[in-house]
A and B are shown apart, each in its own frame.
Chain A
Amino acid sequence: MPYQQIKFYQTGSFAVGNRLLHEEQRSVQSEARRSNTLTCGHRACQGCGEALGARYALDAVMRATKGKMIAVNATGCLEVFSTPFPETSWQIPWLHSLFGNAAAVASGVAAALKAQGRTDIRVVAQGGDGGTVDIGMACLSGMFEREDDVLYICYDNQAYMNTGVQRSGATPPAARTATTQAVGSEPGNRFGQGKSVPLIAMAHEIPYVATATVADLRDLEYKATRAMDFHGARYLHILVPCPLGWGSSPADTIKVARLATESGLFPVFEAETGVVVSSTPIRRRVPVTDYLRLQARYAHLFRPPERTETIARIQAAADRNIARFGLMPEYISSERAVVHAPTPGNTGTPGKR
C-alpha cells in the first residue's frame, strides 16, 4: 500500500492512530460502523488466518461499494465454518454452489446484474487455495479471460485444510501434509511442483492482481479497496496461516505470516495488466529457518540430522523471490523505505525511490 511519511513518537509499534491518517486510509476495522460482513459466531479454529483475512478484506470491499456486494463462495473452510447449519454468519447476499466453480458462478451473478442494469452491485468470489489453484483453475482462468467483473479472493493456507490437511497445488516444497507425509527419504511435499496463481493471473493481463497477508492488515484492506477501483477481472491472493494444518501456535498466526514475507518466501506486490507496479520491501530480512521453525509441518527438517540441503533449497527459493520482485531495494536509507504508489507513468520497476 502507499506509505506516507508521518512523524510519530511511539516506538516499538506499528500502530498509527487513525486520526493521524486521511479518512480513506483509516482502517475499516477501527470503525464502529464497519459492516461485520462475516460476523461473530462462526466456527473457525482459534487463530484461523482465513477468518481474519476474510473479515478484513470483505469489510473493506463493503466500504468501497457502500454495502452493495454479493459474495460467491467455493466449498472449503470458510464456507463450512461460516454457515454451520442452521446458522449463517454472513450479513451479505451469499451463494455457495460447488467446490470448483466459484469463479464461474460469480461470472453468472455479474452477468445477471449487468442484464438487469444493476452494475452498482459488485461481485466477489472467494475460495481457498484448493478451490482456486487446483479444482477451480479452469473456471478461474475462464473468468479472467472473459474479463468478467469479479474480484476473486483466494485465501491461501497452502493445503486442503477442511478435509484434513491434504496437499494442494499451493503446498510449498518440503511441507508435511496428510498426502505428503514426513516419511521416507524425501519427507514432505516434493520440490519443483506447485504453481503461482498470482503470476498466472498476471499472464491473463487482468486489470489488477495483488498479494497480501494477515500480517499487514492495513495493506490487506488497502488492496481490497484498490481492487474495487477497477472493473473487470481482479485477483487478490492472501496468505492465511492455518494453525491446525501448519502446526503453529494459534497465537502465532500473524507472526508466522510476517515471517513468511520477511524471509522472502511470500512476496507481497501489486500488478496491473500483467506488470508489477509495486512491491512491499522487506523491512528486516530473516532467514527462512525463523519462519520454518514455528511450524510443525516443517519439524522433520530440524529433527537430527538437520536437513540442511533441503533448508538451503528453501532459502534459495526465498532469495530468488527477493531478486525477482525487488523486495530489498538496492539501498535502504536511514529512514524507512518508500514505495511509490502506482502512477500512470510507472513502468513497473518496483521499490525504487
Chain B
Amino acid sequence: MLKQIEGSQAVAAAVAMCRPEVICAYPITPQTHIVEALSAMVKRGDLAAEFLNVESEFAALSVAIGASATGARTYTATASQGLLYMSEAVYNAAGLGLPIVMTVANRAIGAPINIWNDHSDAMSQRDAGWLQLYAETNQEALDLHIQAFRIAERLSVPVMVCMDGFLLTHASERVDLPAPAQVDGFLPRYDPRQVLDPAEPVSIGAMVGPEAFTEVRYLAYERMQQALQVIPTVADEFDAEFGRTSGGLVRPYLSEDADMVVVGLGSVLGTVKDAVDELRAAGMKIGVLGITTYRPFPAHAVRDALSPKNRHLVVLERALAPGTGGMVTADIRMALAGRRAPHISTVVAGLGGRAITAKSLRALMSKAAAGELEPFSFLDLDTGLVDRELARMRATRRSGPSPENILRDLGITASRIG
C-alpha cells in the first residue's frame, strides 16, 4: 500500500510486520522515531512483543543477545555514539552467531559532537562480523529490514541495516508498505540453530583457547562467504514476492559504457544519479556503482560490474579514516587487485551532515574528467577556515579548542542565531 511517510515510520512498520518478539532500545538521535513508533505499537497491543526501555546502548544489545539466544526474534536500533558504546556487544553478538537485526541510523561520531549524517558509525564496526546493508531510499530501508531477518536467520549472523540519519530517517517519501500477510509468508518463524532450553541444556559463550580459536573464527569468515550467495538469493526471493528490486550486492547505473564511475553507499546515490543524468545530457560518459552490501564486501560483484571501459573511479567516502584516508577505496582496490586497475580518486564527502549537492558533484565530476582531481581530496572543504586555524595554532601554544575557534571564525556562536 502506497503511503507518504517519514522513513523512520516506514521502518518501524516494516519491523513490526516481521513480528519481532523482543525489542530493546536506547534513544539516540536520529533513530528515536523508529523506536518510539515501535514502543507505541507494543503499548497499544498492535504488536505482540516485549519492549524494554534499557539504560544504555550497551544494555540494549546485551538484552538482544540474551533474547536471541533464547530463540526470540530480536530487534534494536542505534547510531553513532550508541553504536560505539555497544561495540563490545557488537563483536560478542557476531561471535556468538545470533541473528539480531539492528538499524543503524548513520550519524557522525564525536568529538566534536555532531548529530548529522555520515557513515563513520557503521564504518567503525565494519569488521565486527555483522552484515552491513546500506539503503539508498526509504523504500529500500524498509525492504532491507524484511530481507535482513531472513538473511540473518538463514545464516545465524547479525545484520546491520544502515540508513542515513535525517536524510532518510526524517524525510517523508512515498513508500509501498507490504501487506502483513505477505511478510508472514516471506518470514517463517525463527528456528534457531542454538538455543537456551532446559530440555536440552547447552553452554553458549565458553572460552576458546589457542587450540581452536582460529577454526571458530574461520567459520565466521565462512559465514560471510555464504552471505555473498544468500544476500542476492534473498533479494531475488523478495523481488518475486513483493515485485520490486531491493537489496542485493551492488547496483550499477549507466556504468556499462562510462569512462568514469562514481562509487557510493546510501542516500547520496540519489543525488549522484541526478548529477550523472545532467552530465550525460551534456555529453559526459559517466555512471554510478552503488554498493548496497558493504559487508561482506562483494568483491566479485564489483569486479563484474566494472569493465575495462571504466577507466576512472571516483569513490565517495562518507567517513574519514585519519592516517590513511578512505575505507571503501581500500576495499575496492583489494577487489580489483590483479586486474589492470582503473585510476581511483577518493573523495571524502558529506562529513557530519555537510550537504552533498548535485552542483558540487557536477563540478567534482567535471574536474575529474579534466584530469584535475587529486587522488585524495575533501569535497567542499573550506580551506580558508582550515588555514586560519592552522595559523592560530602555529602562533601560540595555548590556541584553545579548534572547533570553538573555527565556529567563531564562521560567525556561529551560541549567542547568535545562525
Chain A contacts to B: CB under 8 angstroms: 67-70, 72-73, 79-80, 83-86, 88, 90-98, 100-101, 104-116, 121, 138-139, 141-142, 145-146, 148
- Please tell me if the beta carbons of B71 and A112 are within 8 angstroms of each other in the complex: yes
Contact between chains at B201 and A101 (CB < 8 Å): no
Query: Quick one: which of A70, A114, A138, A146 contacts B196, CB cutoff 8 A?
Result: A70
**A62: nearest chain-B partner, CB-CB:** B198
Q: Which 8 A-B residue pairings sit nearest by Cβ, starting from the closest?
A: A108-B66, A142-B55, A96-B205, A112-B72, A104-B62, A101-B62, A112-B70, A83-B206
| B82-93 to A contact mask, C-beta < 8 Å, 1/0 | 000000110010
Q: Return the chain B residue nearest A142 by Cβ.
A: B55
Tell whether B64 is near chain A: CB-to-CB under 8 Å.
yes
Contact, CB under 8 Å: B72 / A111: yes
Set of chain A residues within 8 Å of B64, measured between Cβ atoms: 108
Q: Across the A-B interface, how many residue pairs have beta carbons closer than 8 Å? A: 157
| CA–CA, A177 and B84, complex, Å | 32
Q: Are the CB atoms of B24 and A111 closer together than 8 Å?
A: yes
Interface residue B65 (Cβ < 8 Å from any Cβ of A): yes
Contact status of A108 and B92, CB under 8 A, knowing A80-B207, A116-B72: no
Query: Residue on A with the closest CB to B98?
Result: A97
**C-alpha spacing A115/B54, complex, angstroms:** 17
What are 29 of the A-B contact pairs (CB < 8 Å)? Answer: A72-B66, A73-B205, A85-B208, A88-B203, A91-B201, A93-B196, A93-B197, A93-B201, A94-B205, A95-B65, A98-B62, A98-B88, A101-B58, A104-B54, A105-B62, A105-B66, A108-B63, A108-B67, A108-B70, A112-B72, A114-B50, A115-B67, A116-B70, A121-B198, A138-B55, A139-B59, A139-B62, A146-B53, A146-B54
Across the interface, which residues of A come within 8 angstroms of B52, CB to CB?
A: 107-108, 111, 146, 148
| A interface secondary structure, majority | mixed
Cα distance A149–B367 in the bound complex, in angstroms: 62
> Could you list which residues of chain B lie within 8 angstroms of chain A, going by C-beta atoms?
21-22, 24, 48-50, 52-56, 58-59, 62-72, 74, 88-89, 92, 96, 196-198, 200-209, 211-212
Q: Please, how many angstroms separate the alpha-carbon atoms of A116 and B20 in the complex?
A: 11
A139: contacting residue among B49, B58, B96, CB under 8 A: B58
Taking the nearest CB of chain A, how far is it from the CB of B192, in angstroms? Answer: 11
A138-B67 CB under 8 A given contacts A67-B198, A97-B92: no
B207 and A84: CB pair below 8 A?
Answer: yes
The interface residues of chain A lying within 8 Å CB-to-CB of B58 are 100-101, 104, 138-139
Q: Which residues of A contact B65 (CB under 8 A)?
A: 95, 97, 101, 105, 108
Q: Which of A79, A84, A104, A108 has the most CB of B within 10 A?
A: A108
Write out the residue numbers on chain B whose beta carbons fall within 8 Å of the beta carbon of A92. 198, 201
A102 to chain B, nearest CB (A): 8
**Beta-carbon nearest neighbor of A113 in chain B:** B70
Contact of B69 among A91, A95, A145 (CB under 8 A): A95
Q: Shortest Cβ distance from A94 into chain B, in angstroms?
A: 5
Flag if B63 contacts A85 (CB, 8 Å): no
Q: Are B63 and A104 in contact (CB under 8 A)?
A: yes
**Closest residue of A by beta carbon distance from B95:** A97
A141 to B21 CA separation, bound complex (whole angstroms):
24
Q: How far is the CB of B194 from chain A (nearest CB, A)?
A: 10
Distance between Cα atoms of A91 and B66 in the complex (Å): 19
Set of chain B residues within 8 Å of A70, measured between Cβ atoms: 70, 196, 198
Complex Cα–Cα for A96 and B50 (A): 22
Q: Pick the contact of A88 from B55, B62, B63, B206 — CB < 8 Å?
A: B206
Contact B59 A138 (CB under 8 A): yes
Provide the residues of chain B in CB contact with A80, threshold 8 Å: 207
A108 to B201, Cβ gap below 8 A?
Answer: no
| B207 contact from A85, A90, A105, A139, Cβ within 8 A | A85
Instruction: Please measure, in the bound complex, the distance between the C-alpha atom of A295 and the C-alpha atom of B251, giving whole angstroms.
Output: 68
Given contacts A93-B202, A98-B92, A112-B74, 12 further A-B contacts (CB under 8 A): A67-B198, A68-B198, A70-B70, A85-B209, A85-B212, A90-B201, A97-B66, A101-B59, A104-B62, A108-B63, A111-B67, A146-B54
Complex interface: chain A residues within 8 A of B55 (CB): 138-139, 141-142, 145
Residue of A with least CB distance to B86: A101
B50 and A104 contact, CB distance less than 8 A: no
In the complex, A114→B202 CA distance in Å? 20
Tell me how far the C-beta of A68 lies from the nearest C-beta in chain B, rounded to whole angstroms.
5
How far does the Cβ of B48 sit from chain A's closest Cβ, in whole Å? 8
What is the bound-complex CA distance between A112 and B55, given in angstroms?
18
CB of B54, distance to nearest CB on chain A (Å): 6
Q: How far is the CA of A100 from the CA of B24 in the complex (A)?
A: 17
Q: Which residue of B lies closest to A110 (CB)?
A: B66
